[in-house]
Amino acid sequence: MTGPSPSRMLAGRHVYRVVSQLGTDLLVGHCWCGEERSAEDPIELWEWLLAHPETHDANSAAGAAGPPGDRLVRT
């Protein structure tokens, strides 16, 4: 957990993650399947992520658990 872009906090199998890039207007969206894409408009990026697997499909369908979030209360 350092720097302006903290490491992944939520531990579930189906976690979408959107990171804004320091010094740019770009957002990078990471689907839980492992695919990623950048965009400048959060609405467009959410549409792309949530359309999984229509807009993109990495071979994994099961999702990937992240590290346990160290302050997350609910499991």
Partner 1 sequence: MPTWSRNQWYVAAYSAEISHELFARTICGEPLVLYRTTGGDVVALEDRCVHRRYPLSKSHLIDDTIVCGYHGFTYDQCGTCLAAPGQKRIPRTARVPAFTIVEQDSLVWVWIGDNDRSDEALIPRAPWLDSPEYTVVRGMEPLQARYELLVDNLLDLSHETYLHGGYIGTPEVAQTPITTEVDEDAGVIYVSRHMDDAACPPFYAESTGITGRIARWQDIEYHPPCLYLLHSRIAPTGDLPADDGTDDHAFHVEVVYAITPETEHSTHDFWMVARDFALADQHVSDFLAENNRTVVLQDVVALDVLETIVEGEKEHYQELSINIDTGGLAARRLLKRQREAGEAAPEPTAATSTR
Is 17 among the residues that bind partner 1 (CB under 8 A)? yes
**Nearer to Zn ion by C-beta: 35 or 46?**
35
Between CA 40 and CA 26 the distance in angstroms is: 5
Amino acid symbol at 21: Q
- Token pair, residue 6, equals 């903290």
Burial grade of 72 (CB within 10 A; 0-12, 13-18, 19 or more): exposed
User: Is residue 40 within 8 Å of 59, Cβ to Cβ?
Assistant: no
Among 52, 63, 66, 69, binds Zn ion (CB under 5 A): 52
Q: Choose one: 11-19, 36-44, 52-60, 64-72; the region binding Zn ion (CB under 5 A).
A: 52-60
Among 6, 54, 59, 62, binds partner 1 (CB under 8 A): 6
Contact residues: partner 1, CB under 8 A: 1-6, 8-22, 25, 27, 32, 40-43, 45-46, 50, 69-74
